[in-house]
Amino acid sequence: MSGEPTGKKGKGTIFVLNEVCKGCSFCIDFCPPKCLAFSREYNRKGYHYPVLASPEACTGCDLCGLYCPDYAIYGVRYKDLEKRAPATGGA
């Protein structure tokens, strides 16, 4: 994970396909812990895309992904993400 905050860590994170997002705000509006916000930047289509504004509040519940009409965002719990990661180490 890049840029994990120091201090209190949330239970999950989000992944966003910035260029697919059309800025409908469903993910932000329906996020139970209210940890999403629009970015200050625009994608190539001219829309603000969501960012994780409060990483310590994210649960990785994926309601953002369930509400997204374009499948531009999804949430993942850290424990599930660790299970998916390939094992590293010796052959």
Of the candidate ranges 25-29, 54-58, 86-90, the one whose mean pLDDT is the lowest: 86-90
Q: Would you say residue 87 lies in a domain?
A: no
Count of the separate structural domains present in the chain: 1
Q: Would you say residue 41 lies in a domain?
A: yes
CATH of residue 22's domain is 3.30.70.20
DSSP E strands, 1-91: 12-16, 36-42, 48-52, 73-77
Q: What is the pLDDT of residue 1?
A: 38
Q: Would you say residue 30 lies in a domain?
A: yes
pTM for this model (two decimals):
0.80
Position 52 pLDDT exceeds 90: yes
Supply the range of the domain harboring residue 37: 12-77
Q: What is the pLDDT of residue 3?
A: 44
Q: Would you say residue 91 lies in a domain?
A: no
Q: Would you say residue 85 lies in a domain?
A: no
Q: Would you say residue 4 lies in a domain?
A: no
Instruction: Using DSSP bridges, classify how beta strands 12-16 and 73-77 pair: parallel, antiparallel or unpaired.
Output: antiparallel
